[in-house]
Structure 1
Amino acid sequence: MADPAPAAFSASHQTHDRSIARLKYLIATGLFGALVLIMAALPLFSTNNSLGFYLMLWIAMATGMNICVGFTGYLPFGYVVFYGIGAYATGIFYKLLGWPIALSLVAAGIAGAVVALLMTPTLRLKGVYFGIVSLALATIVRLIISNLPDDWTGGSMGLILAGANNPVHSYYTMLLVMTIALGIVLWLSNSRLGRQLRAIKDDDAAAACVGINVPATRLKAWLLAAIIPALVGGVEAWYTNVVDPEYAFHVLITAKSIIYGMAGGFGTIIGPVVGAIALVGIDHVIWEAFPLINLLLLGLIIIALMLFLPRGVIGSILKRKPESRRYIA
């Protein structure tokens, strides 16, 4: 007769793991909910919403990058291509085709997804090869857009979205985009797709052996990661009323998305959010106190962070205090 003890222990262990996962999920949901409420209330207490707007922008960008790096293991140096495409799609559909700004932003998200689909063959590459190819493609897209007829994209001068200015509405739209990004990561952390992505990241060959469709699963994550920056780029274009090829496709947008996400810790739910809040806040304080050398000081802080906390703030906490995994996702 089989001993029932091992089976009972296994069932108890699985129940315990599910309870811990549920607790971490609830804590992350509560923190994200509090962040959304704080950002929603900020315009009621401040007349200058620029800092809040760009904080939400970088939280959304770092969260989107976390889907690429933390869930799939891809590091796209050309991540800015989705941001730029979203900005230009918004400008073209609003200014040239006369669509309402809301529909133009929907078109921006669709444009990001289309570009992601066109880049699907690059998902066969791994590591630095994927990163370099994605950067090259972003550069090619920027050059194509800059050289299109001025009547379409404004050429090297870009587009001016005259009549679209509405700082309050664009602020709350960015809040919506940030909320969507956070909701996607929360869902991935507790979904079958998220578990499949982690399995593929750990060992794609083993994942394929157990029946996971590796290319299709990666493509789903890639599309999610592309739509977020496309929407962000569209809303930022609405906020500033300007779409410029140099800024819309600037490599610094990718660099900041990586740095902010890495500062908190890729592969965790709340890490990129913590990293973005910390570094955007530090950058703002340094810029106000030392406007002439703010980039130098910020660079030194980032270097120190990478040297002493290579896993990011949250990742380092989880490594040094494993018991905190009960509460931090």
Structure 2
Amino acid sequence: MENARDSRVRVMVWAGVVAALTLGFAIVPFLTDNLSFMFYMMLWIIMASAFNFVAGLAGYMPFGYVAFYGVGAYATGILYKTLEFPIPLALIGAGLTGATVGLLLAPTLRLRGVYFGIVSLALAMAAKLTISLMPADLTGGSLGLILSSANDPLAAYYAMFVVLLLLLATATWLSMSRTGTALRAIRDDQEAAAVVGVNVVSTRMKAWISAAVFPALVGGVEAWYTNAIDLESSFNLLITAKSIVYAMAGGLGYLVGPILGSGLLYGVDQLIWRQFPTLNLLLLGVIIVLLMLMLPRGIVGAFAQRFSKLRKYIP
């Protein structure tokens, strides 16, 4: 009975977090015309949380995570600008492209640890090179693609909001279902998980594809929001770095970890940028280093360690 009660409390805590995020982001356009801050807050929550699917739950560290974001942005641009698809279909195409790239890269899941990270980084660079070699009339060449005719910041904001809702639903499923339990078992000991009947290949593939689809969708929606796509910004390794840092700062392996880490560090990043624009990256780097040294398990992980009796209630 105690276990059932603990589970109910954990579900209620997570439901409260989901409700707060849903209500908070839904009403923003009614309160202000400046959507940029909250738009990018959603972007980084999604990027860090999707990264947590594969790193925190499955135990993989994809340093080439930006590849999914980049191909999603370009898929949206090509489908809308070149092939003249409507934006909703272009965004669906971005998600499907992310899933396809994830399937193509799935054989790399045979690798573990730093070897997987290095290979995924190399494949991200290969994806960028592949797009750069495609015909300029398709990808826009060195100038990229301009989507000014699709300009609609409010619609793009709510598109990101829909992606956030899908992310929260997927996070709930991955973490609180038998799939989540199997993923954590694989992360802790893959051989032991296989012995007790866990389908290792199928289970980790679910996390991997989920971690591929969401950054692709985010890349597509962000391209719509800014109306501009180019190779350097779409495949900027800082996107991977921030996703990793935000997720780790909050606490990998917890649903609320990447959400808290993204909200806190993105807010700090913007505050520093406004006050010290020339020292932004330096000061942010110092804060991140101090945070990692003081809280190596992240904010949520440190809380769970300090208050061990409450750990079972943390989603």
Fold match, TM over 0.5? yes
Deviations 1:214-271, CA, capped at 9 Å, x for gaps = 1111111101111010000000000011111111011000000000000100001101
Give the counterpart letter for 2:22 in structure 1. Answer: V
Structure 2 unaligned spans of 5+: none
Q: Within the alignment, does 1:233 sit opposite 2:214 as a pair?
A: no
Query: Equivalents in 2 of 1:271, 1:21: separation in Å?
Result: 18
Shift of 1:20: 0.6
Return the letter of the residue paired with 2:153.
P
**Residue 174 in structure 1 maps to residue 160 in structure 2:** yes
Gaps of 5+ in 1: 1-14
TM-fit CA distance, 1:19: 1.7
Q: Which residue of 2 aligns with 1:10?
A: none
Cα offsets for 1:274-321 (capped at 9, x unmatched): 000000111111111111111111110000000000101001000111
1:78-136 deviation line (CA, Å, top 9, x unaligned): 00000001000000111111111000000000000000000011000000100000000
Match of 1:82 among 37, 56, 68: 68
- Per-residue CA distance 1:46-94 (angstroms, 9 max, x = gap): 1111000000000000000000111100000000000001000000111
Taking structure 2 as the reference length, the TM-score comes to: 0.98
Instruction: Note the alpha carbon deviations across 1:142-164, whole angstroms, 9 max, x for none.
Output: 01101211011111221111311
1:113 corresponding residue in structure 2 = 99
Structure with greater Cα Rg: 1
Q: State the distance in 2 between where 1:41 and 1:168 align.
A: 12
**Contact preservation (8 Å) 1:25, 1:186:** no
Structure 1 equivalent of residue 118 of structure 2: 132
Counterpart CA distance in 2 for 1:25 and 1:261 is: 21
Tell me by how many angstroms 1:140 deviates. 0.6
Which of 124, 136, 146 matches 1:160? 146
3-state DSSP of counterpart to 2:148:
coil
CA distance in 2, matches of 1:202, 1:141: 31
SS in 2 for 1:298: helix
Q: 4+ residue stretches of structure 1 with deviation over 6 A?
A: none
Q: TM-score, normalised by structure 1?
A: 0.94
Give the alignment partner of residue 9 of structure 2, picking from 23, 26, 41: 23
1:22 Cα shift?
Answer: 2.0
Match of 1:279 among 232, 241, 265: 265
Does residue 98 in structure 1 map to residue 79 in structure 2? no
The SS at the match of 2:49 is helix
CA distance in 1, matches of 2:233, 2:111: 28
Task: Please list, as runs of the form range in 1=range in 2, the aligned pairs for 1:232-271 lying within 5 A after superposition.
Answer: 232-271=218-257
Contact map agreement 1:160 1:242 (CA 8 A) in 2: yes
Q: What SS is found at the alignment partner of 1:73? A: coil
User: Residue type matched to 1:31 in 2?
Assistant: V
Query: Structure 1: how far apart are the matches of 2:4 and 2:146?
Result: 52
2:26 corresponding residue in structure 1: 40
The offset of 1:202, in angstroms, is 1.1
Q: Which amino acid aligns with 2:172?
A: L
Q: Is 1:147–1:156's contact at 8 Å kept on the other side of the alignment? A: no
Residues in 2 aligned to 1:128 and 1:66: alpha-carbon distance in whole angstroms = 17
Q: Which amino acid aligns with 1:256?
A: K
8 Å CA contact 2:174, 2:207 repeated in 1:
no
Q: Is the 8 A contact 1:263 1:305 kept in 2?
A: yes
The CA distance in 1 between the partners of 2:144 and 2:211, in whole Å, is 26
User: C-alpha separation between the residues in 1 aligned to 2:8 and 2:177?
Assistant: 12
How many residues were matched structurally? 315
* CA distance, structure 2, for counterparts of residue 133 and residue 322 of structure 1: 37
SS at match of 1:163: helix
Indicate whether 1:184 and 2:170 are aligned: yes
The letter of the residue matching 1:146 is: S
In angstroms, what is the RMSD of aligned CA positions?
0.9
The 8 Å contact of residues 305 and 311 in structure 2, kept in 1 or not, is answered as no
In structure 2, the residue matched to 1:8 is: none
Structure 1 residue 16: deviation in Å?
A: 1.3
Name 2:43's counterpart in structure 1. Answer: 57
Residue 144 of structure 1 pairs with residue 137 of structure 2: no
